Structure 1
Amino acid sequence: MPRDNMASLIQRVARQARITFRSPAGPTFGENLHRLQQLLDEVRAEDLHLAPRGPSAAAAAGGGLPWSGVVPPVSYMHICETESFSMGVFLLRSGACIPLHDHPGMNGMLKVLYGTLRIACLDTLPPAAAAPPPPAAAAAAAAGPCHRALYRSRQHYTPASPPCLLSPHTDNLHQIDAVDGPAAFLDILAPPYDPQHGRDCHYYRLLEGPLPPAGAEPPGLPREVWLMETPQAADFWCGGEPYPGPRVCF
Structure 2
Amino acid sequence: MRIDGELAKQKGSGEVAKEKNRCCSRKKSKRQQKKALAEPMPTVVQRLWETCKEVFADSRPRVVPLPGDVGRLRSFLDGMKPADVGLHPNLPFFQDFKGTPPVTYLHLHQCPKFSIGIFCLPQAAVIPLHNHPGMTVFSKLLFGSMHIRSYDWVDSSKQIRSSNGACLAKLNTDSVMNAPCETSILYPAAGGNMHCFTAVTPCAVLDVLGPPYNGPEGRDCKYYTEVLCSNFPGNAAASAAPTDNDRYAWLEERQGKPDDFKVRGEEYKGPKIVGYY
TM-score normalised by length of structure 1: 0.78
Counterpart position of 1:18: 53
Q: 1:224 aligns with which of 239, 242, 248?
A: 248
Q: CA deviation at 1:8?
A: 2.6
Deviation at 1:193, TM superposition (A): 0.5
Structure 2 counterparts to residues 155-194 of structure 1, below 5 A: 155-170=175-190, 171-179=192-200, 181-194=201-214
Name the residue aligned to 1:8: 43
Matched pairs, number: 219
Q: Secondary structure at the match of 1:23?
A: coil
SS state at 2:144 partner: strand
1: CA distance between counterparts of 2:74 and 2:220? 25
Q: Is the Cα contact below 8 Å between 2:137 and 2:186 reproduced in 1?
A: yes
2:243 aligned with 1:237, yes or no? no
Residue 99 of structure 2 aligns with an amino acid whose one-letter code is S
Find the partner of 2:72 among 27, 35, 38: 35
1:79 and 2:108 matched: yes
Q: 1:6 to 1:206 in 2, by over 3 A?
A: farther
Higher relative contact order (CA 8 A, sep 6+): 1
**Structure number with larger C-alpha Rg:** 2
- Contact 1:48/1:246 (<8 A) preserved: yes
Shift of 1:120: 1.1
Listed one character per residue, the Cα deviations across residues 32-80 of structure 1 (whole Å, up to 9, x for unaligned) are 11101111111111221111137xx2389xxxx93425xx610100011
Match of 1:68 among 94, 99, 102: 99
> Which position in structure 2 is the counterpart of 1:124?
153
Which of 219, 236, 257 is residue 199 of structure 1 equivalent to?
219
Q: Distance in 1 between matches of 2:65 and 2:153?
A: 26
8 Å CA contact 1:107, 1:191 repeated in 2: yes
Aligned to 2:134: 105
Q: Please, which runs of 5 or more residues in structure 1 have no aligned partner?
A: 210-219
**Alpha-carbon distance, 1:158 to partner:** 2.4
Contact persistence 2:93–2:104 (CA under 8 A): no
Structure 2 unaligned residues grouped into runs of 5+: 1-39, 230-243
Distance 1:128 1:11, change over 3 A: closer
What's the secondary structure of 2:83's corresponding residue?
helix
| Alignment match of 2:85 (pick from 48, 66, 79) | 48
8 A contact 2:120–2:203 mirrored in 1 = yes
Identify the structure with the greater strand proportion. 1
Identity of aligned residues (%): 31
After superposition, the Cα gap between the structure-2 partners of 1:222 and 1:123, relative to the gap in structure 1 and judged at 3 Å, is farther
For 1:196, the aligned partner's letter is P
Give yes or no for contact 1:116–1:183 (8 Å, CA) kept in 2: yes
AA matched with 1:21:
F
Aligned to 1:249: 274
2:237 counterpart residue number: none
- Structure 1 consecutive aligned stretches of length 4 or more whose deviation exceeds 4 Å: 24-28
Are the equivalent residues in 2 in contact too, given 1:44–1:159 (CA < 8 A)? no
CA distance in 1, matches of 2:153, 2:214: 20
Q: Answer yes or no: is the 8 Å Cα contact 1:67–1:93 preserved in 2.
A: no
